[in-house]
């Protein structure tokens, strides 16, 4: 089976982890945490990095540090992982859904202003499958309406908008280092930002709200800390980030080259203003293929090729059908995200992929078309 994703632990991971074990620094203090935070935030062209336990906790921390809570609304894309909606709800605010752009699969800036109300506090820009959002348009709307912009960069380490790295553009940006991400620490996350005060609050909430004097608390914090062992892996991964991003782009370019003349799939784009890092190589099935997404995925599984369906939109989540005032209004029209769910999937995209494996995947995909 060609797996849909695998990490590449081909740097100094073992050496740094060994150092943690030898020196007994395995918990959430230790030199690798600050080294990882500094190196990764510098890569993102941001001044501060606060390491935390996952991309999910990174988003919750971002909400909390920005003071977003009860009575507030946050604009999120309908097409995203459910964590975007869940963390807004966990913070006490309400997610407001906006459809995505047909080409980039990211939040459509043209549809945002119609959803802004006096309660809106932030826009969450989720960079999908490696392609960045149109951040220039999103930042202009946010500045005009005095809203925060939270970037969710879980799937887009190293992606760029007009030469600027994602993570350093919005007010606060969240990364995931889960095992399938471009950089991984197994489980892990980081929030990066440029504002000193926001950075201080992120650290405070990440670490149980500990202040001086110790054990006297003025905010309700969480234990969202990353361990030194995970940060050691993260540092080693960050040392190789350029190679990893280039490998992802090579995988994307190789698929593009092998599939470009086959008209039965719509391939991912790279807008002129964007650098796509092809976290996952997503494709959308055209009617001419004569197969549903589920049929294509199960035929490929039988042929030894692992795939994953695109995300199910928030507007179709059974969870949000309940009458709960915290849940998003799912009654709008979200034609693009619903269509992506019906016809989208991604092909094997792991960092260790070889040209021969990509050729095999493409050959198997082409074999699936009914004659």
- Site residues (CB under 6 A) for ligand PLP? 54-56, 80-81, 83, 126, 152, 154-155, 176, 178, 189
Q: Measured from the CB atom, is 151 or 270 closer to ligand PLP?
A: 151
- Taking CB positions, which residue lies at the least distance from ligand PLP? 55
Residue 168 to residues 139, 152, 172: CA-CA distances in angstroms?
12, 11, 8
* Size (the chain), residues: 371
Residue 316 to residues 62, 309, 319, 328, 341: CA-CA distances in angstroms?
26, 15, 9, 11, 10
Contact 133, 104 (CB under 8 A): yes
The DSSP output letter for 122 is: E
- State in angstroms the smallest separation of the CB of 218 from ligand PLP: 28
- State in angstroms the smallest separation of the CB of 3 from ligand PLP: 16
Strands 265-266 and 164-165, how do they pair? Answer: unpaired
Q: Measured from the CB atom, is 126 or 361 closer to ligand PLP?
A: 126
Tokens 């650098």, located at residue: 275
Q: What's the rounded Cα separation, in Å, for the pair 293 and 123? A: 31
Contact 338, 323 (CB under 8 A): no
- State in angstroms the smallest separation of the CB of 155 from ligand PLP: 5
Q: Measured from the CB atom, is 56 or 173 closer to ligand PLP?
A: 56
Q: Measured from the CB atom, is 63 or 83 closer to ligand PLP?
A: 83
Q: Measured from the CB atom, is 56 or 254 closer to ligand PLP?
A: 56
Sheet of 281-285: strands edge to edge?
265-266, 281-285, 344-347, 308-309
- State in angstroms the smallest separation of the CB of 87 from ligand PLP: 8
Exposure string over 273-311, b if 16+ CB within 10 A, otherwise e: ebbbbbbbbbbbbeeebebebeebbebbeebebbbbebb
Burial (CB count within 10 angstroms: exposed 0-12, middle 13-18, buried 19+), residue 265: buried
- State in angstroms the smallest separation of the CB of 169 from ligand PLP: 16
Q: Measured from the CB atom, is 53 or 254 closer to ligand PLP?
A: 53
- State in angstroms the smallest separation of the CB of 351 from ligand PLP: 16
Q: Measured from the CB atom, is 62 or 353 closer to ligand PLP?
A: 62
SS3 305: strand
Q: Measured from the CB atom, is 51 or 81 closer to ligand PLP?
A: 81
Q: What's the rounded Cα separation, in Å, for the pair 45 and 167? A: 8
Q: Measured from the CB atom, is 264 or 275 closer to ligand PLP?
A: 275
Residue 321 to residues 84, 250, 316: CA-CA distances in angstroms?
17, 41, 8
- State in angstroms the smallest separation of the CB of 270 from ligand PLP: 19
- State in angstroms the smallest separation of the CB of 34 from ligand PLP: 21
- State in angstroms the smallest separation of the CB of 177 from ligand PLP: 7
Closest among 269, 284, 248, 280 to 3, alpha carbons compared: 280
């Amino acid at each position: 089976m060609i797996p849909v994703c695998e990490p590449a632990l081909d740097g100094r991971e073992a050496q740094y982890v060994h150092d943690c074990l030898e020196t007994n620094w395995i918990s959430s203090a230790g030199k690798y945490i600050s080294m990882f935070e500094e190196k990764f935030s510098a890569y993102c062209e941001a001044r501060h990095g606060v390491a935390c336990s996952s991309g999910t906790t990174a988003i919750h921390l971002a909400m909390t540090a920005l003071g977003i809570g009860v009575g507030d609304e946050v604009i999120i894309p309908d097409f995203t992982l459910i964590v975007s909606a869940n963390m807004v709800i966990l913070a006490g605010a309400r997610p407001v859904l906006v459809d995505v752009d047909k080409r980039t699969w990211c939040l459509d800036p043209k549809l945002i202003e119609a959803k802004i109300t006096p309660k809106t506090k932030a826009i969450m820009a989720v960079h999908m499958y490696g392609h960045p959002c149109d951040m220039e348009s999103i930042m202009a709307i946010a500045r005009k309406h005095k809203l925060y912009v939270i970037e969710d960069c879980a799937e887009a380490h190293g992606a760029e908008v007009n030469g600027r790295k994602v993570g350093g553009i919005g007010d606060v940006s969240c990364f995931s280092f889960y095992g399938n991400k471009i950089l991984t620490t197994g489980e892990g996350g980081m929030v990066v930002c440029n504002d000193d005060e926001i950075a201080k609050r992120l650290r405070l909430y990440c670490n149980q709200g500990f202040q001086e004097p110790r054990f006297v608390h003025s905010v309700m914090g969480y234990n969202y800390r990353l361990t030194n062992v995970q940060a050691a892996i993260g540092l080693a991964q960050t040392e190789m980030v350029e190679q990893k991003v280039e490998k992802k782009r090579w995988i994307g370019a190789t698929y593009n080259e092998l599939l470009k003349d086959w008209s039965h799939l719509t391939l991912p784009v790279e807008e002129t203003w964007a650098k796509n890092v092809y976290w996952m190589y997503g494709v959308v099935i055209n009617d001419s293929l004569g197969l549903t997404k589920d049929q294509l995925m199960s035929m490929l599984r039988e042929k030894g090729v692992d795939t994953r369906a695109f995300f199910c939109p928030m507007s179709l989540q059974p969870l949000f059908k309940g009458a709960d005032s915290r849940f998003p209004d799912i009654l709008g029209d979200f034609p693009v995200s619903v269509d992506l769910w019906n016809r989208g999937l991604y092909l094997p995209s792991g960092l260790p992929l070889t040209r021969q494996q990509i050729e095999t995947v493409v050959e198997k995909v082409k074999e699936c078309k009914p004659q």
